[in-house]
Structure 1
């Protein structure tokens, strides 16, 4: 089984990402279950805006799209900005919109029988809103989002330290991240054994 973590930080490598640090807890828990984990930081790639899979020369989204289709588990990793997902996360979802009309050999939408979850950090509130927006979009595209398939960290109201600068809330966020990994793995396993079949249209 494969998992792909797509980081939607605004920062390019090698600059550190707070959200990726929390996501690593989830990745390690999946690896303990034998899952092969891959990572991609979208800001490192030229991904122009659009709602199709391939915009032609210079568009690096197709290689990310191929990795999405190679993974049974997707984890979207995003900071909170102004109480919302990052602009990079929004662009990713817009490019994934094309998957609504893409089908496999048996006619099943390509996102079916795959699971997804969300990791969020920010020194401001809004994590639940971010989780809801991203999870709702992924369900629209065809992913299965299990119960408790997310974890987050924030400092609380007002400005304050960032995730790596304090131990505040880490125990809860890490425990929730491990539970997230458990649920993603178990539902992905169930779908691999009993996949959703193509819809028998009349």
Structure 2
């Protein structure tokens, strides 16, 4: 049985506006599909994700369905642009809602995301990709996702310039290599975890 992936784009731009983050996530999904882990791309800003730190903030909250998709997937790829040196506000909202996972365990005491792997995609026009990746790695690990080796793909342009990732004539070789490594390692570890869940209490 094939693995499954959910890629969450935390751009500030609603659909159908072009998004550099969406381009990179699409490339990652293509790479994962080639390794037996096809998936879905979801743009978070298109959904009414209410503020809060529970799994359901009441009528009209768009998070419960996104949460369902996250937990149904073997692999989560969280993508964000860099704004003022940090993940986007949309990404922060997604992380805040995942905070609820800390209080949601199965009968063996395992957090809900146990057995699922996560990766990160970051785009921006200034430096800061390592800082943003570190923030997302910390949060995803805290709430129960497993981070394989080398699963941070990113691109940043020159300082004080306006060129976006989506404006490049071709994907830089280093970025393409990091995307391939991300897909290979995510699919490998997700397959192992599907057949060997973490031990319970």
Q: Same fold (TM over 0.5)?
A: yes
Matched with 1:62 is 64
* Stretches of structure 2 lacking an aligned partner (at least 5 in a row): none
- 1:25–1:178 CA contact under 8 A, matched in 2: no
- 2:36–2:187 CA contact under 8 A, matched in 1: no
* Stretches of structure 1 lacking an aligned partner (at least 5 in a row): none
Q: CA deviation at 1:167?
A: 4.1
Distance 1:169 1:33 in 2: 20
2:161 to 153, 159, 166: 159
Matched with 1:115 is 117
CA RMSD of superposed structures (Å): 1.3
| Mean Cα deviation higher: 186-195 or 105-114 | 105-114
Matched with 1:81 is 83
Distance 1:29 1:102 in 2: 32
Equivalences for 1:1-202 in 2 at 5 Å?
1-167=3-169, 170-199=172-201
Give the TM-score normalised by structure 1: 0.94
Q: Which runs of 4+ in 1 moved over 4 A?
A: none
Give the TM-score normalised by structure 2: 0.95
- Residue by residue over 1:12-66, the C-alpha shift from the partner in whole angstroms, topping out at 9 and shown as x without a partner, is 1111111111111211111011213012111000011100000111111000000
